Structure formats: structure tokens, C-alpha cells
A and B are shown apart, each in its own frame.
Chain A
Amino acid sequence: DTGVSQNPRHKITKRGQNVTFRCDPISEHNRLYWYRQTLGQGPEFLTYFQNEAQLEKSRLLSDRFSAERPKGSFSTLEIQRTEQGDSAMYLCASSPDLIENTIYFGEGSWLTVV
């Protein structure tokens, strides 16, 4: 499978715990995005990488959230001291193309904070 891969697919955690999600983009895609989606809503942009550089962050990305893409390939999204409001699906996407911006999504990682 050469698509965007995310894991874990599901995570249940207690409030206050830290969680980390991993994303492996499509090979040779130099752009990588993280989005968050809650039930009944569309995806909301969190952050974007061009290779290893994090070029843009949304206001939604509070200081409890950190994303990295150390070698310009896979990326991790860590949420520290989780809160119930963090419960959502976290979607990773990648793109090869600067101009048209078509992005390719993974299947998402569901987070439930109890």
C-alpha cells in the first residue's frame, strides 16, 4: 500500500495522559499536513510541513500540541496532558504539488479522551 499511513488507528486515553500519533506520507511527497475533525464537521487545519520545516501552524494548535517531521519523511503529532475536548479524529495528508494543492489523506487516528 503506497498511500498515507497513520497509526494507531484508535487510541483511548485517560485525561491528562500524553498521546502520540505517527504519519507516514506517500513516498516523495514533500508536503505533509495534519488536520483535526470532530463529528459532523469538516477537517480543520492544524499544521503543515515542507520537508522537515514546519511552515504554518493554526491557532487550534495549542502549546499542548507539538508536531515534528525530523527527516522530512514521517511525522509525529503529540498531544500532552490530554483533555476531553481533544477527542477527535486526527488526519494526516501529504502532497507532492505546490500549485494545485491536491492532498491525499490517510485513514485517520481516532482519539477518545475519557
Chain B
Amino acid sequence: SQQGEEDPQALSIQEGENATMNCSYKTSINNLQWYRQNSGRGLVHLILIRSNEREKHSGRLRVTLDTSKKSSSLLITASRAADTASYFCATDAGANNLFFGTGTRLTVIP
């Protein structure tokens, strides 16, 4: 079974707006990561946040982590059409591999 669940399943915004995606997970983690996937392509690592961190930034990306609620959010600011993709959170849950959620499909309308 998959560890994480993203919300919303799909999101459509205008270019320039901010996009927020949420992820909830079930068990204790060492870290949480966000990946991006363009249609039909492999996944690209975006950002990793450790369990002892609460917020992290990378360019236009901002990730938060609330371990008490077992949840994370990914904020993409000033979205661009090229940000159109599916976004997945992934957790390690103490294992030697990553467990992925079902993803949020983001569409940025030019």
C-alpha cells in the first residue's frame, strides 16, 4: 500500500498564481521528499525535508512539514506553464525505499 496521499488530486490555476499541494502520510518518517513527473516521463527529485525540519525553500518551491499531523505541503509560487506536471510526495518510513502517494496533477494555464 502507498504511504502518502496527496490533496487535491487535480489542480488547475492561471499562470502567475501560487499552487499549494498537500500530502498526508501514515507512519513515522526520517524525511519526506517531493518529486515531479511530466506526462509519460520519469520522476525528478525536487526537494527533501528532514523530520526535524519544519520548512524548506528552493527557488520558487516552499515545503513545510508537520510531523505531529503527519502532513506536508508544497507551495509553488508564481507558477509557469512549464510547471504543469504531476507532483508526488514520498516518504521513507524507516525502510530502504520510498513510498509514493497518488500525486496531484497540476495544470497551469498560460
Chain A residues packing against B (C-beta within 8 Å): 4, 31, 33, 35, 40-45, 48, 50, 55-56, 89, 91, 93, 99-108, 110
Contact = CB atoms under 8 A, between A and B. Distances in A.
A101 to B, nearest CB: 5
- Chain B contact-residue range equals 20 to 34
B43 A56 contact: no
Contact of B102 (A31, A40, A102): A40
Contacts, number: 62
A103 B45 contact: yes
Nearest to A106: B42
Closest 7 CB pairs of A and B: A42-B100, A105-B42, A105-B43, A107-B42, A45-B97, A43-B100, A101-B92
Nearest to A98: B96
Nearest to A92: B42
Given A41-B102, A42-B2, A55-B96, A105 B44 contact: yes
A48 B98 CA distance: 11
B13 to A, nearest CB: 20
B98 A44 contact: no
A101 B50 CA distance: 11
A50 B35 CA distance: 23
A107 B39 CA distance: 11
A107 B97 contact: no
